[in-house]
Structure 1
Amino acid sequence: MGNDKYLVFLNEINKDKPNEFKKINIKECPFCNRETLTDVIDEDGPFVLLKNKYPTIKDTYQLVIIETYNCNTDMGQYSAEYMEDLIRFSVKHWLRIEASGEYKSVIFYKNHGPNSGGSLKHPHMQIVGLDDIDYKLNIKDDYFEGIEIHKSDNCLVNLSHKPFNGFTEFNIIINDDLYALNELAYNLRKVVHYLLNNYFVKCDSFNIFFYHIKNKILCKVMPRFSSSPLLLGYGIRQISSCENEIADKLKAMYFQ
């Protein structure tokens, strides 16, 4: 059984939130101007974990991870070592907050680009502790099964046969002993680079969602465009007629 609860969006906080894509309440990037950051929890070189200055969701604990000093970059451009360090820093804090037991569940995700639901271009991720909602009740094993693109002893990369929301969803799956985090980081970087540079249509936005379920860390990467009206109005999901070609191209370009 899934969740039937709704999160409450706090409009009075959102009205003051800067939005770079809509050019609202912003003169300069707040994440570039590091000397003005407040409520910093941890810092390791370019990586900063801090409380979200605009916690727009009621009954949650909202944190931001700033990924880099540079506004004009993306995850696909990071070096392999940089990406490994970022994922280790981020996952460490996500799992630490989850293990605290203070929240019903803890979500960890990334928005990138104007169609992703994000508000700032500067590369960042978010960790949100949910007081009253267990996200795992909405998740089915089927969402992470699909066309195999890459498999090693520690990591599986595939393209969903039954995507959570429809069309193209890439999955990266490892055991949660954390031994394979470097492989997750390495393969996640490849998938992001593919989406932003070699996907079969022009793509400038994506989401990454992390899940900790059944002793595994699962990562789902979704290119983002305008949402399908069939999904919004009827809950009808779609898959692409060229899913095999998408998987084959990613495999040929990045996993040979």
Structure 2
Amino acid sequence: MENEPLVFELGIAKGKPHSYRKTPRKPVCPFCEVDQLTDIYEKRGEMIWLHNKFPTLRDTVQTVLIESNNHAGDIANYTPTYNRKLMRFALACFKKMNDSGKYRSVLWYKNYGPRSGGSLEHPHMQLVGLKQLDGYKYLQQNNFVGISVFDNQDVEVNIATHPVQGYDELNINLLKDSGQDLWSDWIQSGVKYMLNIMFNGRCTSYNLFFYPREDGGICAKLIARFEAPAYFVGYKLSQVDDEKTLQVEAEQFRHFFDNGSQLE
């Protein structure tokens, strides 16, 4: 399998705002200036789906979904009701882009925190259409299965035994559209668990990736972000915790959800 990298256009990136750079003054957040936004596709209350003003990747169409007008907002602090609306809107936008037939593949993901690879703090997701590349070619089906946390006819939750990067990745699978609200609740609970419990509060950044399943569902995968392991950087070898540790983590996550962590 030959490597096919995405080409990054540095010239376009030079004018891009960045929340995490050390500057004398705090940069102005473009997502807070709603009246200045252009190229908007759809709006639903505070949620806005629009064209990315800085399309830094060649042969792609890059779009942004602004989650909220609250600059400090995040999945972890939205009300469950708002988070459910957000996930429904984002899923609808993804399906519209994915079903358009214009792209070889469409990527949907979220960066949160200074180590996530993101540039702006304001809560947002990204939906990127790849014209030439298969964005999923390096993934395996076993990346989305693992030690069970929860399972019913609509939603299945597990801790990955074959993670994409490692060490502990939470897979939250939407099996049927009727489970969207429960799926959203598990995602919110997973974010809270990852930021507050899983690493004893040491995790400040995460990525949330969404993958279309072969059965028509969607897998939401939560990956904590620290420094990337050398084995992954140099060899694309992911690492995973031992079976006993994963079992304990699964029990703790299930208990966390059952105790109402996702409720208002």
Scaled by the length of structure 2, what TM-score is found? 0.92
Deviation of the 1:250 alpha carbon: 1.1
Aligned residue in 2 for 1:34: 34
Taking the aligned partners of 1:82 and 1:234, their CA distance within structure 2 comes to 40
Aligned residue in 2 for 1:65: 65
Q: Secondary structure at the match of 2:177?
A: coil
Deviation of the 1:14 alpha carbon: 0.8
Percent of paired sites with the same residue:
34
Aligned residue in 2 for 1:93: 93
Aligned residue in 1 for 2:177: 178
Q: Does 1:6 align with 2:5?
A: yes
Q: Does 1:111 align with 2:111?
A: yes
Q: Secondary structure at the match of 1:198?
A: helix
- Structure 1 unaligned spans of 5+: none
Q: Confirm or deny: 8 A CA contact 1:169 1:221 kept in the other structure.
A: yes
- Structure 2 unaligned spans of 5+: 260-264
Q: Secondary structure at the match of 2:136?
A: helix
Taking the aligned partners of 2:217 and 2:150, their CA distance within structure 1 comes to 17
Q: How does 1:184-195 map to 2 (within 5 A)?
A: 184-195=183-194
1:17–1:26 CA distance, 2 compared to 1 (3 A): farther
* 1:157-190 Cα deviation digits (max 9, x unpaired): 1000010112011001122x52222121111000
Taking the aligned partners of 1:223 and 1:3, their CA distance within structure 2 comes to 28
Deviation of the 1:30 alpha carbon: 1.0
Q: Confirm or deny: 8 A CA contact 1:60 1:130 kept in the other structure.
A: yes
Taking the aligned partners of 1:90 and 1:149, their CA distance within structure 2 comes to 25
Deviation of the 1:12 alpha carbon: 0.2
Deviation of the 1:3 alpha carbon: 6.1
Q: Does 1:225 align with 2:230?
A: no
Q: Secondary structure at the match of 1:203?
A: coil
Q: Confirm or deny: 8 A CA contact 2:166 2:223 kept in the other structure.
A: no
Q: Does 1:243 align with 2:242?
A: no
Aligned residue in 1 for 2:81: 81
Q: Confirm or deny: 8 A CA contact 2:18 2:27 kept in the other structure.
A: no
Q: Does 1:50 align with 2:53?
A: no
* 1:168-217 Cα deviation digits (max 9, x unpaired): 11001122x52222121111000001111222241110001111121221
Q: Secondary structure at the match of 1:125?
A: strand
Scaled by the length of structure 1, what TM-score is found? 0.94
1:28–1:110 CA distance, 2 compared to 1 (3 A): same
Aligned residue in 2 for 1:199: 198
* 1:99-151 Cα deviation digits (max 9, x unpaired): 11000011100000000000111110000000011123222111111111111
Deviation of the 1:244 alpha carbon: 2.3
Aligned residue in 2 for 1:234: 235
Q: Confirm or deny: 8 A CA contact 1:200 1:246 kept in the other structure.
A: no
> Given residue 95 of structure 1, which amino acid in structure 2 is its aligned partner?
K
Q: Secondary structure at the match of 1:77?
A: coil
